Amino acid sequence: MQKRYTLGIDSSTQGVKACVYDPAEDRVAATASVNFGADLPQYGCPDGVLPNPDPLVKQSDPMMWLDALDMLFGRLNSAGAPMSEIAAIGGDGQQHGSVYLNRNWREILPALNPERTLAEQLATAFARPAAPIWMDSSTGNECRELSARFGGRLQTDTGSPAIERFTGPQIRRFWRTCPEEYANTTDIHLVSSFLCSVLIGGTAPIDRGDGAGMNLLNLHTNVWDPEIAEFTAPGLIKKLPPVRDGRAGNLHPYFAKYGLRPGIPVAVWTGDNPASLVGCGAEKPGCAVVSLGTSDTFFAAMDHFHTDPDGCGHVFGNPAGGCMCLTCFKNGSLARDRVRREIGVDWKFFDETAFDLTPPGNLGRQALPWFEPEITPPSKELGIKANFDYAAAAPEVKIRAVVEGQIGNMREHTRWIGDFSEIRVTGGASRSRGIREVLADIFKAQVVPLEVTDSAALGGAKLAAKELE
């Protein structure tokens, strides 16, 4: 019996990754990656972001994403991945990023020529050459306008209050500042649906997982909210793809040059966070995932739709059905590393010894290392926020205070979601025994470290496997 693999592609901020997955044996068979800065330096995006004199503006070049997709397939093929045995493709994109396309878009896609690159052929399809991404925070005025017009309905219906980095406010700003370019825009895609469209040679839908990160999708009706969309920008709904899960279409013959079989099913792509939920095996309620990276992120499947009364957490669609929640804490591993360096200890002391020398609870001493403006809860006050004389304390006391402060803050701002019997922890800091122990103590849950790498790409591959059932 011939093997049937699936392929998951993750288009993230700094690069793209591929995961070839064997559903029958539940294992990863091959991987490949492209780093924008190292592999495509001609675009001038060392971290996936175009330089801009305005620090609030964060944009990327969608042409770079196209070249990266070609390069990724080429690397998989050259490395001997079983391309001809891939039976379905899925994927995800960094959430909230938007791509603006003109009337050439729909004419070029079906006629893609394997003798030319994707970027060469689609160069004339963009109504806006730069794509705003999730890091952009230039839409403060637009968010205030949306909040003034719709109040709490934005959160209760779309899952989040007006957020600067979300796609709706970004579209509103584009319409107001560049009305002629907006008028010439026929299609507005997310990063996920843009790249999925390229794979199928036609317009791909947007799924509920990624669509909910736009302040435009009504999660009660699962369609674009007509009132919010029309206020955001005139005629917007006509420019948006439909909302749908499942199969987007079939693979375009262009990709046969990489050894793939044309016509295999391509699943609707989702956002990177919903894909990670699936990749970590946490798509059903009762299990949460904590990702300990540059920022700390808590996400979980939800047993019913409800929103954060404090407005810090977000609700997205769950690609496996229902909804998921996500709360992000900006001061994560970089803050912990700064504390470690300022104290002057190595990682073994920080991750293990400090917790052997101090009792759980730290006699009530807690600290929050907010070296960057925090988003959960919103705060622009910088420095160590402590309820004791932090400067005079012993190193081990400082370390436990910081870790228990961070995890305690995480628990406080995820209570609205509910309780969990299991927490799966991933990211670089998941190797810390001390942090895992504190997570277990504060959440009163079993903590399971995950060895999953590239969980978003794996999630895309697992979603593709559903098209083979």
- pLDDT value of residue 469: 84
Residue 229 has what pLDDT? 98
pLDDT digits (tens, 9 = 90+) for 200-220: 999 999 999 999 999 999 999
What confidence score (pLDDT) does residue 270 get?
Answer: 97
* pLDDT for res 294: 80
Matching residue, tokens 């008028």? 183
**Per-residue pLDDT for 181 more than 90?**
yes
| Token pair in block for residue 116 | 């030319």
Asked, as a colleague might, if the bond just before 53 is cis with ω within 30 of 0, I would say no
* Model pLDDT, residue 383: 96
Of 36-45, 225-234, 368-377, the range with the lowest mean pLDDT is 368-377
CA distance 70 to 58: 24
Place of tokens 């420095």: 383
What is the full DSSP assignment across 154-206?
HHHHHSS---TTSHHHHHHHHHHH-HHHHHT--EEEEHHHHHHHHHHTSPPPB
Written as six digits, the tokens of 96 are 């909230």
Specify the fold of 5-275+455-468. Answer: Nucleotidyltransferase; domain 5 (3.30.420)
Q: Where are the domains of the chain?
A: 5-275+455-468, 281-451
Per-residue b or e along 186-212, where b marks 16 or more CB atoms closer than 10 Å to that residue's CB: bbbbbbbbbbbbbbbbebbbbbbbbbb
CA separation for the pair 171, 177 (Å, rounded): 10
Q: What would the pLDDT profile of 270-295 be if each residue is shown by its tens digit?
A: 999 999 999 999 999 989 999 998 88
Tell me how far apart the alpha carbons of residues 448 and 205 are, in angstroms, rounded to a whole number.
35
- pLDDT score of 29 more than 80: yes
Residue-level pLDDT at 47: 85
- pLDDT the model gives residue 1: 59
Asked whether 48 and 37 are in contact (CB, 8 A), the reply is yes
Q: What is the pLDDT of the chain when averaged over all its residues?
A: 95
Average pLDDT over residues 297-318: 92
Q: Fold match between 5-275+455-468 and 281-451?
A: yes
Q: Picking from 59-73, 387-401, 421-435, which range would have the lowest pLDDT averaged per residue?
A: 421-435
How many other C-beta atoms lie within 10 A of the C-beta of residue 222? 14
Dist. CA 124–CA 119, nearest whole Å: 9
Residue 241: which pLDDT band, with cuts at 50, 70 and 90? Answer: very high
Question: How many other CB atoms sit within 10 Å of the CB of residue 136?
Answer: 25
Whether pLDDT at 361 is above 70: yes
Q: How confident is the model at residue 325 (pLDDT cuts 50, 70, 90)?
A: very high
Q: What would the pLDDT profile of 12-25 be if each residue is shown by its tens digit?
A: 998 999 999 999 99
Is residue 137 within 8 A of residue 58, CB to CB? The reply is: yes
Q: What is the pLDDT of residues 62-114, one digit of tens each?
A: 999 999 999 999 999 999 999 999 999 999 999 999 999 999 999 999 999 99
> Which H or E element spans position 16?
strand 15-22
Largest CA distance in the chain: 69
pLDDT band at 454 (very low <50, low <70, confident <90, very high): confident
- Residue 174, CA distances (Å) to 128, 132, 159, 177, 356 in order: 9, 10, 23, 5, 54
Helix (H, G, I), strand (E, B) or coil at 371: coil
User: Which residues touch 264 (CB under 8 Å, ≥6 apart)?
Assistant: 86, 87, 88, 89, 250, 251
CB 30 within 8 A of CB 81: yes
- Where does 354-432 have alpha helices with state H? 354-356, 395-412
Confidence of residue 52 (pLDDT cuts 50, 70, 90): very high
Mean pLDDT of all residues in 412-439: 93
Architecture of domain 281-451: 2-Layer Sandwich (3.30)
Identify the H or E element spanning 34. Answer: strand 27-35
CA dist 360 and 292 (Å) reads 20
Per-residue pLDDT at 295: 86
